[in-house]
Amino acid sequence: MSLARICAAVSLSLLAAWPAQAQDRRVPTATSELKLSYAPVVQRATPAVVNVYAAKVIQNRNPLLDDPIFRRFFGVPGQQPEQMQRSLGSGVMVDPAGLVVTNNHVIEGADQVKVSLSDKREFEAEIVLKDSRTDLAVLRLKDVSEKFPTLDFANSDDLLVGDVVMAIGNPFGVGQTVTHGIVSALARTQVGITDYQFFIQTDAAINPGNSGGALVDLTGKLVGINTAIFSRSGGSQGIGFAIPANMVRVVVASAKSGGKAVRRPWLGARLQAVTPEIAETLGLKLPSGALVSSVTEGSPAARAGLKLSDLIVAIDGFTIDDPNAFDYRFATRPLGGNAQIDVQRSGRLVKLAVPLEVAPDTGRDEITVRARSPFQGARVANISPAVADELRIDPGMEGVVVIDIADGAPAAGVGFQKGDIILAVNNRKIARTSDLERAASEQPRLWRIIVVRGGQQINVTLGG
C-alpha cells in the first residue's frame, strides 16, 4: 500500500475515533478566518447581562452596650450609628418579564437590590428565590411592563474542553466587560464553593464583580453563570469557575413556578467517595463511582431497591466518577418519572429505576429563637427528610437543627453553626422547636447543651 493511502487510512481511523460532538469543531485553516470577529455574538448577548447592586444596613455594635451598668456609668447611648454595606455583581436576564438570575452571595442579606441594564437604566428588584446550595438567586424587576432581552439556555452537557466561550459581567465596577477564552475543564468537583460541585472551568478572565454574570458560547447561548475564581492576587489568573446552565435552569424553573425554594429530586441515600483502598477491596481497576453508605427507609432509593454497599456507576447514561457527579446529575433530572441508575453489586451490573420526587417537608415548624439565651438569633427547624437533604445531615437523627444564624447574633458569638443538631439543653431532650423555644426562655445560671456537628457529639457548658 502506498504511503499516501496509509496516511489516508490512519486519518480516517482517527476521525472515526473522535467523539461525534468533536467532529463539527475545527481550527482555522486560512488567514481570513483569523480575522473573524466575536462582535455579532457580543451584540446579541450583552443586552441581557445586567449589573446587580445590593445594599444592607449594618450596625457597629459593641457588646459592652448590652450591659445597662456600663451604659449608665459611661453615658454611652444604647443605639449605635448605622452603616450601609454595599456589594456589586452581575446578573443575566432569563425571562422577558424581568426575571434575573445571579449568585446568591451577591445579594445575601441585602435590604435593597438594584439592577442596572446595559443601556444604563436602573430598576429596583425583589428577591424571588435564594438557593445557597447552588449559590444562585433569582430576582424580579419591580414595576415594569416592557419586555426585556434575554439569553437562552444552552445544554451545558454539550460543552467540550477547548470550546471557545465568553464571560460577560462588570468586573471591579468598571462597567460591562467581555472577555474570552476556552473551556479549560469540565465537572470540577474539588472547588468547595457550593453543595453541588460540578463546575465549568474557563480561562476567560473573571474578576470580582463578574459573579452572577454570563458565560456564553459562540451561538450567544448561556452555558453557565460565572461564580468564582482561584487567585492568589484577588484578580484573574486564568482559573475561573461557572455553574453549568443545566443547574441554573432548574433554579429558574422553580422561581417561575412561584416556589420559594428549589424543587429537586430526593434520593434518600448517603454516598461516599471510592478511595484507592476501597477500590482494591472491591476489586475495581480505578477508584471511581459513588458508594452507598446508608439508605433511608421509605425513600425513593429504598423503594427502587438500592442497597448498602452498592456502587453507583451511571445515571441515565452518564458515567458517575464520584458522589459530587451523582449529586449534580440527579439534581438536574426533571421531577416526575424515574431515573435509571446503574450499580455494581457483588460483581454484577444491576439497573434500578429511582422515582424522581421531592423530599417530604412536613412538620418543619421553623422558628427564630428570640429569648435572651445562647440560641438567640438562630433559626431552627425540626429534622424532616427535606431539611436533612438540604443540610446534608442524617435524616435518621432526632432533634432540632440550626438552619441559619443572623449576623452578629448571640448564637453566632457562642459558636453555633448552620447544620448543628441540638439534642438536649440542661438535661432536657430537645425533640421539637417548641422544646428549644421553651428551654431558651428560662434563665438558668448554667447552660448545658448537647450538640451534634458533623456526626460528632459535643457537650457545651456556658455561663448564664
Q: Tell me the average pLDDT of the chain.
A: 84
| Closest alpha carbon to 139 in 98, 89, 173, 87 | 98
Q: Out of 87, 105, 180, 203, which one is annotated catalytic? A: 105
Domain end point (choices 200, 229, 263): 263
Range from 57-61, 111-115, 195-199, 262-266 carrying the lowest mean pLDDT? 57-61
pLDDT tens track for 347-374 = 899 999 999 999 888 788 899 999 889 9
Instruction: Say whether both 142 and 234 belong to one domain.
Output: yes
Question: What pLDDT sits at residue 21?
Answer: 57
One-character DSSP codes across 198-225: -EEEE-S---TT-TT-EEE-TTS-EEEE
The H or E element spanning position 180 is strand 177-188
Is residue 174 packed enough to be buried (19+ CB in 10 Å), middle (13-18) or exposed (0-12)? exposed
**pLDDT score of 314 more than 90:** yes
pLDDT tens track for 244-274 = 999 999 999 999 988 778 889 999 999 999 9
- Three-state SS for 190? coil
The H or E element spanning position 82 is strand 82-95
When pLDDT is averaged across residues 187-203 and rounded to a whole number, the result is 77
Question: What pLDDT sits at residue 437?
Answer: 92
Q: Out of 211, 299, 373, 384, which one is annotated catalytic? A: 211
> Using CA atoms, how far apart are residues 241 and 231, in angstroms rounded to an integer?
11
Q: pLDDT category, 80, cuts 50, 70, 90? A: low
Question: What pLDDT sits at residue 20?
Answer: 55
When pLDDT is averaged across residues 22-51 and rounded to a whole number, the result is 80
Compute how many other C-beta atoms are within 10 angstroms of the C-beta atom of residue 187. 17
Q: Is residue 1 in some structural domain?
A: no
Q: Is residue 6 in some structural domain?
A: no
Instruction: Say whether both 273 and 379 belong to one domain.
Output: no
When pLDDT is averaged across residues 370-393 and rounded to a whole number, the result is 89
Binding site annotation covers 293?
no
Instruction: Say whether both 76 and 218 belong to one domain.
Output: yes
> Using CA atoms, how far apart are residues 170 and 40, in angstroms rounded to an integer?
20
Binding site annotation covers 135?
yes
Q: Is residue 14 in some structural domain?
A: no
180 is catalytic: no
Q: Which domain holds residue 417?
A: 367-463
Instruction: Say whether both 216 and 329 belong to one domain.
Output: no
Q: Is residue 313 in some structural domain?
A: yes
Domain end point (choices 263, 281, 297): 263
Q: Is residue 301 in some structural domain?
A: yes
How many independent structural domains does the chain possess? 3
Q: pLDDT category, 85, cuts 50, 70, 90? A: low
Q: pLDDT category, 61, cuts 50, 70, 90? A: low
Domain end point (choices 306, 326, 355): 355
Binding site annotation covers 91?
no
Instruction: Say whether both 115 and 144 belong to one domain.
Output: yes
pLDDT tens track for 389-411 = 888 888 778 889 999 898 788 89
CATH code of 127's domain: 2.40.10.120
When pLDDT is averaged across residues 27-49 and rounded to a whole number, the result is 82
Question: What pLDDT sits at residue 70?
Answer: 47
pTM of the model: 0.78
Instruction: Say whether both 64 and 189 belong to one domain.
Output: yes
When pLDDT is averaged across residues 283-290 and rounded to a whole number, the result is 89
Binding site annotation covers 210?
yes
234 CB contacts (<8 Å, ≥6 apart)?
Answer: 208
Q: Is residue 281 in some structural domain?
A: yes
Give φ, ψ of 411 to 5 degrees.
-60, -35
Q: pLDDT category, 198, cuts 50, 70, 90? A: confident
Q: Is residue 28 in some structural domain?
A: no
135 is catalytic: yes
Question: What pLDDT sits at residue 252?
Answer: 94
Cell 486560512 belongs to which residue?
30
Give φ, ψ of 178 to 5 degrees.
-115, 130
Q: Evaluate whether 414 touches 363 at the Cβ level (below 8 Å).
A: no
211 is catalytic: yes
Question: What pLDDT sits at residue 115?
Answer: 93
Binding site annotation covers 105?
yes
| Closest alpha carbon to 449 in 367, 394, 373 | 373
CATH code of 295's domain: 2.30.42.10
What are the grid coordinates assigned to 357, written together?
Answer: 420526587
Q: Evaluate whether 320 touches 314 at the Cβ level (below 8 Å).
A: yes
What are the grid coordinates assigned to 67, written together?
Answer: 450591659
Instruction: Say whether both 422 and 306 belong to one domain.
Output: no
Instruction: Say whether both 178 and 61 belong to one domain.
Output: yes
Q: Out of 90, 131, 135, 327, which one is annotated catalytic? A: 135
Instruction: Say whether both 342 and 386 belong to one domain.
Output: no
Instruction: Say whether both 206 and 340 belong to one domain.
Output: no
> Using CA atoms, how far apart are residues 413 and 194, in angstroms rounded to an integer?
24
Instruction: Say whether both 379 and 293 belong to one domain.
Output: no
Instruction: Say whether both 293 and 258 belong to one domain.
Output: no
Q: Is residue 68 in some structural domain?
A: yes
Question: What pLDDT sits at residue 413?
Answer: 86
**pLDDT score of 78 more than 60:** no
pLDDT tens track for 166-192 = 999 888 777 888 999 999 988 876 666
